[in-house]
Amino acid sequence: MNFLKRISNTSARALLVAALGMVMVACQPDKAETARPDPVNAVMAPSFSATALDGSQVSSADLEGKAYIVNFFASYCPPCRNELPDMVRLQAEYADQGFTFIGIAVNEDRDRMNAFIEEMGINYPVVMVTQEIVDAYNRYADGGIKYIPTSFVIDADGVLGSYVVGEQSYEVFKELIVEAIEAGR
């Protein structure tokens, strides 16, 4: 993937990544959407394992028994930037209840992302996107992951309860977090 770093034009990089089958082609759809799978046909969250930019290991196995939201985002995406302060606030509010966000940085340079994490005060693990992570989550979004931000909500029982596409408000994220925590009790 090092050849992607050499492409300086963000649009060209996004098109190349999309052509490779990795991820998003646009920052956000016209409106935010929420999808909730049928509870009768509960889907277990996909397994993943990655090293966060802070060097810590992040895996679905380590998150067993915890509610979490996997958020595909990028520093260059205005809707992603807009929702981050609320995510940072909610992380601080719900961490003691076993909740965490997991950020998946899309089409980013490590150095730029580390600076962005510091600038935004991101207080949860952020990993660089990999094909493994995209493949793990892509089949659970209608038509695949086409936009960022896209967030997948996993409850404490490991069930993928919903996903949301587009910029979300503090209130929407809070509702999703509370539902995920309560579903696992």
The answer to whether 143 touches 171, Cβ cutoff 8 Å, is no
Q: What is the pTM of this model?
A: 0.81
Residue 76's domain comprises 2-183
Which candidate, 61, 107, 54, 98, places its Cα nearest to that of 80? 107
Q: Which residue has the higher pLDDT, 39 or 52?
A: 52
Distance CA 99, CA 68 (A): 5
Average pLDDT over residues 45-56: 93
The answer to whether 75 touches 115, Cβ cutoff 8 Å, is no
Query: Total structural domains in the chain?
Result: 1
* Residue in the structure block whose two tokens are 């060097």: 55
Q: The CATH number of the domain where 59 resides is what? A: 3.40.30.10
CA angle at residue 39 from 135 to 88, to 5 degrees? Answer: 60
- pLDDT in the model for residue 26: 60
Residue range 110-152, pLDDT digits in tens: 999 999 999 999 999 999 999 999 999 998 888 889 999 999 9
For strands 49-51 and 57-59, give the pairing: antiparallel
Residue range 58-101, pLDDT digits in tens: 999 999 999 999 999 999 999 999 999 999 999 999 999 999 99
